[in-house]
Amino acid sequence: MVVKNKQDAARVLADVTGDKRFFCEDGCVSANLTELVNCLNYMTEATFNHHVTSWKNDFSTWIRNVLGDDKLAGDLTKVNNPIEAAKVATQRVAWLQKKSK
């Protein structure tokens, strides 16, 4: 989905519950994008590489299928480490927060 208005932005930033949350291999659980950024900021390369391989990107899939942000999902397919992923996601969260006001 393309974020077109403040309602779309707010929905992408909102918490998800239950099995819709993102469960990292290292035990970090994210209910929203901000929490995912926090997980990425402290994530090891090994954990990142568990979720991102040449044939899958769990972060991108979760963001596209659960949160509905096609742009961020696409951007995350281009990064190769948790530091870059956190930077890209942080920038998108800031943009979404501004758009949601």
* Domains identified in the chain, total number: 1
pLDDT given at position 76: 98
Q: How many CA atoms lie within 13 A of 38 on its CB side?
A: 10
All residues at 6 or more sequence positions from 10 whose CB lies less than 8 Å from its CB, including other chains: 100
Residue 23 within a domain: no
| Domain coverage including residue 73 | 6-15+29-99
Residue 35 within a domain: yes
Residue 61 within a domain: yes
pTM, to two decimals? 0.94
φ, ψ for residue 52, nearest 5 deg: -125, 115
Instruction: Give the pLDDT confidence of 88-101 residue by residue, as tens digits.
Output: 999 999 999 999 98
Residue 67 within a domain: yes
Residue 43 within a domain: yes
- For residue 26, the SS3 value is coil
Residue 47 within a domain: yes
Burial of 25 (C-beta count, 10 Å sphere; 0-12/13-18/19+):
middle
